Structure 1
C-alpha cells in the first residue's frame, strides 16, 4: 500500500485547501476484474508518476472536481487510458482493456547473429536518470534506436551500462562485506512509429522485468520472449519502476531560495556512450507519455550505453 502514501504525500501541496478528502481507486483488468500491479499512474501537469503495487490501488487526496489536471494510466499490453481528474470524482474502480500483440512462429530458425551499437564501457562517464543542478529528469522511459540490415530478425539479448554503487555491509555482518546495489526495471521493445519516427507499438506480448541487476554492466537474455523485429529499425527502452525499492534522491538547486534541495530519483541511472556526431539515437518518454528526442548530452551523447544482439 506504499503507492497510496507516495501519491498522497506528493499531492499535499497541490491540494492544500482540501486535504480532508481521500479518493481511492482500484485498477483492474476489464475481463478478469483482477488488480493490476505495476500500472503507471501519471499526473501530467503536476509531473508526478508512480507504479501501483500488488493491490492495484492508488489515492489522490483533495476535491477532484476542482482540479485541472489529467491522469494517464498505462500498463504494458493494455490500452492506455487518459482521464481528466475532475471526471474521476466519485469513481471507485478503473478498468483497463487488454490488447493482443501478434506473435511470430517460434519454430523459425536463425543461423547467424550480429551485435548492434557495441560500446566501450570505459568511455561511459555520463548517466541519464538523475536530476542535476541545471535540469530535472522528467521522463518515464528512455529508448535506444537500433538499425539492422534487413527486416525479419529476432532479438536475442541486450547489454547495458548503469551507475552502480557499492554498499558497505560490514556493520550488519560479521565480515567486511561490500555488495553492489540492486535495481529493478522493465524492458520495452518497440517498432518505429511511421508518423513520429520514434518508438511506436510494443513488439513483445510479455512483461519483461529485471529485478536482480547488480554491477555496472547488465547482460539480459531475451531469447525466451521470441521478439520478432519486422523492420530495419527498432527501439529498446528502459522503463523506470517508480516505487520504494528503486527510490532515491539527488541534490538539485532551487532558484527561488538559492539553496540545494532534495529531488526524487529512481534507479537505474543509465549510461551514455562516448559516441559523438549529429545523428541522435536516444528517445525519452515525457510525462504526457509522448516520445521526444533526448538531446541533453548532444553532440557528445548520441547513443545510450546499450548494445543489442539480433539473430537472422
Structure 2
C-alpha cells in the first residue's frame, strides 16, 4: 500500500468529542426523543449537534439521543426530508422534539438519453495533501457537512458517479494492542504542528466508513439550498485513496448553473475514530470517517463550504477545493 509521506494538519478542521465546560453552568445528561410530527413515530438516524459542547450524535432505533448539556445550550436537529430545527435544552418539553416532514425539491425531467459525458472538478490524487474532518486541537471548527460547489454548463445533466479522495494509513505500521488491530502514524521531525513530535495517532479499523452524499441546489447567494434528491444516498468507503460510488440509479437531474455535492458524516460507533495526542498528558479526540481530501488552488473564488454544528453554512477561508469529482451525461 502506498504510504502517505506528508500529512499537513494546518489546513484541517477538527471534529471533537470533548465536552468543554463553562463557568457557572451545570452540565447534565439530557435524553431527547425525536419523532415525526404527524405519525408520532421515532425518526431513526436523526442528527443532533451542539456547537457549545462541540458534540455530534445520531438518534437510535427509538429516535433517542443522549447528550451532556446545560439548559441554556441550543441543539440543532436535522434529518433529510424534514424541516430542521434549532431549540434550547430548556425549551424541550418532556424530553420530546418533533420534526415536520417535507419533500426535497427534486427536479423533475424526463430521463436523459444523451451520451455526452461531462466530468466536473477533476483532482490529482498526488496533489491531495490536506484532509478535512481530521481531529486537531489547533483548529477547533466542528461541522457536520462539507460541500463543493460545481457549475453545470449543460441544460440537462444527470449525475452518474462521484469520486472522493480520503485519508488512508500505511497498514505496515499496524500494531496489535489487546488483540485489536490499530493503525498508527508517527510524526517525523518538523512535521508535527508546533514542532512537537511526541504525538501518536491510533486508528481502530480506520479503513471502513459509511457516509451520506447530499446534492443541493444553489440559492441566489451561492450557498447550498434544497436537496435535489429525495432519497438518502449512503456510501460505504472502499479501502482505497479514492472512493468511487455509482449513483446513476437515483436519476438526479441537475439544471444548468451552480449546484453542490456534500459529504455528511454519520456519527455512529462504526465511523468513530479516536486519536490520542501524547504530549505532557494524553488527550483523546474523536472524529468521524472518512477524512476527505483537499487540493490547494492558487487562483479563483472559494468553492468549498462547511455546515457547522448550529446548521449554518460558511465559506472556507482557505484557497482549496474538496477532492470530489462528479461524472454524468448531458444532451
Please give the range of the TM-score, normalised by the shorter of the 2 chains. 0.7 to 0.9
User: Which has the higher relative contact order, 1 or 2, with Cα contacts under 8 A spaced 6 or more apart?
Assistant: 2
User: In the alignment, is the contact (CA less than 8 A) between 1:252 and 1:261 conserved in 2?
Assistant: yes
1:277 maps to which residue?
A: 299
User: In the alignment, is the contact (CA less than 8 A) between 1:183 and 1:212 conserved in 2?
Assistant: yes
Q: Does 1:82 align with 2:86?
A: yes
Distance (Å, rounded) in 2 between the aligned partners of 1:18 and 1:291: 28
Structure 2 vs 1, CA of residues 108 and 250 (structure 1 numbering), >3 Å: closer, same or farther?
same
User: In the alignment, is the contact (CA less than 8 A) between 1:51 and 1:241 conserved in 2?
Assistant: yes
Q: Does 1:131 align with 2:153?
A: no
Q: Which residue of the other structure, out of 44, 47, 50, is the alignment partner of 2:57? A: 50
Q: Which residue of the other structure, out of 225, 239, 244, is the alignment partner of 2:250? A: 225
Structure 2 vs 1, CA of residues 206 and 241 (structure 1 numbering), >3 Å: closer, same or farther?
same
Distance (Å, rounded) in 1 between the aligned partners of 2:20 and 2:310: 21
Q: What RMSD in Å do the two structures reach over aligned CA positions?
A: 2.9
Distance (Å, rounded) in 2 between the aligned partners of 1:288 and 1:113: 38
1:6 maps to which residue?
A: none
Gaps of 5+ in 2: 1-16, 182-204
- Which SS does the other structure have where 1:288 is aligned? coil
Distance (Å, rounded) in 2 between the aligned partners of 1:280 and 1:186: 23
User: In the alignment, is the contact (CA less than 8 A) between 2:153 and 2:257 conserved in 1?
Assistant: yes
CA deviation profile, 1:243-272 (whole Å, cap 9, x unmatched): 211112335699xxx866222211111111
Distance (Å, rounded) in 2 between the aligned partners of 1:24 and 1:133: 28
1:97 maps to which residue?
A: 100
CA deviation profile, 1:11-55 (whole Å, cap 9, x unmatched): 695798464xx5432212233333222211112322222111222
Distance (Å, rounded) in 1 between the aligned partners of 2:58 and 2:66: 12
Map residues 173-192 of structure 1 onto 2, 5 A cutoff: 181-192=207-218
2:115 maps to which residue?
A: 111
Gaps of 5+ in 1: 1-8, 174-178
Distance (Å, rounded) in 2 between the aligned partners of 1:127 and 1:83: 32
2:48 maps to which residue?
A: 41
1:154 maps to which residue?
A: 158
User: In the alignment, is the contact (CA less than 8 A) between 1:116 and 1:307 conserved in 2?
Assistant: yes
User: In the alignment, is the contact (CA less than 8 A) between 1:134 and 1:253 conserved in 2?
Assistant: no
2:10 maps to which residue?
A: none
Q: Which residue of the other structure, out of 319, 322, 330, is the alignment partner of 1:304? A: 322
User: In the alignment, is the contact (CA less than 8 A) between 2:206 and 2:273 conserved in 1?
Assistant: no
- Which SS does the other structure have where 1:149 is aligned? strand
What TM-score, normalized to structure 2?
Answer: 0.76
Distance (Å, rounded) in 2 between the aligned partners of 1:180 and 1:71: 29
Distance (Å, rounded) in 2 between the aligned partners of 1:68 and 1:25: 15
User: In the alignment, is the contact (CA less than 8 A) between 1:284 and 1:294 conserved in 2?
Assistant: yes
CA deviation profile, 1:191-218 (whole Å, cap 9, x unmatched): 11213x1111111100011135322110
The total of aligned residue pairs comes to: 285
- Which SS does the other structure have where 2:154 is aligned? coil
CA deviation profile, 1:127-164 (whole Å, cap 9, x unmatched): 11113352124111001111121343121111010002
- Which SS does the other structure have where 1:86 is aligned? helix
User: In the alignment, is the contact (CA less than 8 A) between 1:115 and 1:309 conserved in 2?
Assistant: yes
User: In the alignment, is the contact (CA less than 8 A) between 1:281 and 1:303 conserved in 2?
Assistant: yes
Deviation of 1:92 after TM superposition, in Å, equals: 3.6
